[in-house]
Amino acid sequence: MRASDVPELNPHETGEQQAVFQWAKYHLGKYPDLEWMYAIPNGGYRHKATAARLKAEGVKSGVPDICLPIPRGIYPGLYIEMKRPKKGRLSENQKRWRAVLCRNGYRVERCDGWQQAVAVLLNYLNLEGMRE
C-alpha cells in the first residue's frame, strides 16, 4: 500500500492509527496474524462521565495504543505507541508502561505516523522463531 492509497489523514494520532488499521485490513491475506491486532482506547478527549466509567472499568493512562499479541522472535507480543509525525512526545506514564513492558520481554515501539508503524509491523511479522 502506498501513501496515495490512504485517504487524507487528520493530523492527529487518531487519523494515523486509523491508517494503520486500514493497512492491516488490506494486508490480512498476506499476514493473517494482523487479525488479532487491536487498539487500546486509553487516550483522547472524553466527557467526564465516560472517562470516569472507563477508569472504573480499568482503562489506564499511558498504555500503548496498539497491541499485536502474537509471539515473534524473542518477543511474546508487540505494543505500539502512536504519535503524529514530528509533533508527539511520550508522557511520563507512557515511559513507565514502556519500561515495564520491555522488562517483561515485549517489543514496544513509538511510531511517528502510520508509515513508521507499518514498517515496525512488517519487521515484527517477519521475525522467525517463537510461533505456535
Q: Which CATH architecture has domain 11-125?
A: 3-Layer(aba) Sandwich (3.40)
Rounded Cα distance between 99 and 110, Å, is 12
pLDDT reported for residue 41 = 84
pLDDT band at 95 (very low <50, low <70, confident <90, very high): very high
Q: Where are the alpha helices (DSSP H) in the chain?
A: 13-26, 48-57, 92-103, 114-125
pLDDT 10s digits, 102-119: 999 999 999 999 999 999
Contact between 33 and 51 (Cβ < 8 Å):
no
Mean pLDDT of the chain: 87
pLDDT band at 129 (very low <50, low <70, confident <90, very high): low
